[in-house]
């Protein structure tokens, strides 16, 4: 059930160690594990994450949800977070579950982490990603979406304080972008050449998304020439894509990725 206590995995050593919270719903080890990779400042109890778990239950599949450090029920400071650090945590929890077949579902920043995770897993050959669903994916958002919009005050704050704040539409607390996050983003860029996932990819993107413009999703498609890619543009969809019709679309996208499905 959703409210059961999470498990914790220590990732990192010494002063860098942090407790990562995760939940795994039951399912057979010989079928794909559905892995939820959430967005910036979101957690594993969000609407889409819970819908994914419900879908997994309906299909008798296991589902993994986790909170990155500084998010939800995990330990660690949010301000220490970077794409590299959150990627390391996601890969550590995935490895800990022991599943060898995966379907990754990445929302917003989680879409970037999913694309980086595929590259790492293909290198390590520890598990096979059999499909990816990306919801309002935000790969390279620090360089492509945040940096170009910075004003003089934000740039000065990054240099002087090491971070800047901006109003959040989704929380009373402001969003915090650190110089560390911005710098690390450059090391994790994926929209620089061909991205080879080796599996089908389905992108869901709202055309009224104020945070990740739909053209950003189209740019991603251009970098996936080797894969079978489907993109579903939701004309009146926002960034969250959490309405009942959006969740139904996510379910259909997942359904098409399952072994034995057609289309």
Which band of pLDDT confidence, cut at 50, 70 and 90, is reported for residue 1? very low
- Among 112, 110, 113, 130, smallest CA distance to 48 is for 110
Map tokens 């679309």 to a residue. Answer: 249
The answer to the question of residue 262 being in a domain is no
| CA–CA gap between residue 52 and residue 49 (Å, rounded) | 5
Q: Residues 202, 133: contact at Cβ < 8 Å?
A: yes
Domains identified in the chain, total number = 1
User: Percentage of the chain with pLDDT > 90?
Assistant: 92
Residue 153 lies in a domain: no
Domain presence at residue 168: no
Distance (Å, rounded) from C-alpha 146 to C-alpha 130?
31
**Residue 3 scores a pLDDT above 90:** no
Residues of the chain with pLDDT > 70, as a percent, come to 98
H helix runs in the chain, sequence order: 47-58, 83-97, 109-124, 141, 152-160, 179-187, 214-222, 244-257
Q: Does the pLDDT of residue 215 top 90, yes or no?
A: yes
Calculate the alpha carbon distances from 226 to 30, 41, 111, 194, 198 in Å.
27, 32, 18, 8, 8
Question: Tell me: the pLDDT tens digits for 160-200?
Answer: 999 999 888 888 888 899 999 999 999 999 999 999 999 99
Q: Is residue 145 part of a domain?
A: no
Please, what is the average pLDDT of the chain?
A: 95
pLDDT band at 263 (very low <50, low <70, confident <90, very high): very low
Domain CATH for 109: 3.40.50.1820
pLDDT 10s digits, 5-55: 999 999 999 999 999 999 999 999 999 999 999 999 999 999 999 999 999
Q: What is the pLDDT of residue 259?
A: 80
- Is position 97 within any domain? yes
Q: Does 150 reside within a domain?
A: no
Checking if the pLDDT of 114 tops 80, the result is: yes
Cα end-to-end distance, the chain, whole Å: 32
Phi, psi (5° rounding) for residue 45?
A: -105, 15
Q: Are 112 and 81 in contact (CB under 8 A)?
A: no
Q: Is residue 201 part of a domain?
A: yes
228 Cβ neighbours under 8 A, 6+ residues apart: 200, 201
pTM here is 0.95
Distance of CA 195 to the CA centre of its chain: 16
- The span from the CA of 158 to the CA of 181, in Å, is 11
Write out pLDDT tens, residues 115-147.
999 999 999 999 999 999 999 999 999 999 999
Q: Cβ(52)–Cβ(45) under 8 Å? A: no
In-domain check, residue 172: no
Domain that holds residue 96: 7-139+194-257
State the pLDDT at residue 169: 82
d(CA 163, CA 177) in angstroms, rounded, equals: 5
User: For residues 142 and 184, what is the distance between their CA atoms, to the nearest angstrom?
Assistant: 9
Which of 68-82, 170-184, 216-230 is predicted least confidently?
170-184
- CA-to-CA distance for 176 and 173, rounded, in angstroms? 9
């Amino acid at each position: 059930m959703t409210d059961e206590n999470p498990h914790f995995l220590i990732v990192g050593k010494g002063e860098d160690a942090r407790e990562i919270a995760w939940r795994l719903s039951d399912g057979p080890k010989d079928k794909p594990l559905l892995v939820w990779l959430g967005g910036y400042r979101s957690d594993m109890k969000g609407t889409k994450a819970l819908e994914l778990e419900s879908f997994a239950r309906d299909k008798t599949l296991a589902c993994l949800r986790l909170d990155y450090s500084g998010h939800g029920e995990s330990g660690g400071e949010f301000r220490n977070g970077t794409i590299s650090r959150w990627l390391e945590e996601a890969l550590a929890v995935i490895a800990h579950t022991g599943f060898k077949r995966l379907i990754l579902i990445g929302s917003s920043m989680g879409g970037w982490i999913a694309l980086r995770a595929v590259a790492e897993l293909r290198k390590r050959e520890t598990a096979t990603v059999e499909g990816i669903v990306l919801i309002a994916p935000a790969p390279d958002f620090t360089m492509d979406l945040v940096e170009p919009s910075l004003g003089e005050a934000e740039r000065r704050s990054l240099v002087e304080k090491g971070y800047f704040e901006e109003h959040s539409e989704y929380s009373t607390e402001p969003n915090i972008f650190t110089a560390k996050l911005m710098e690390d983003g450059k090391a994790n860029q994926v929209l620089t050449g061909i991205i080879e996932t080796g599996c089908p990819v389905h992108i869901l993107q709202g055309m009224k998304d104020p945070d990740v413009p739909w053209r950003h999703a189209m740019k991603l498609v251009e970098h996936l020439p080797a894969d079978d890619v489907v993109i579903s543009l939701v004309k009146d969809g926002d960034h969250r894509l959490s309405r009942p019709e959006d969740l139904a679309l996510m379910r259909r996208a997942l359904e098409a990725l399952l072994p034995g499905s057609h289309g």
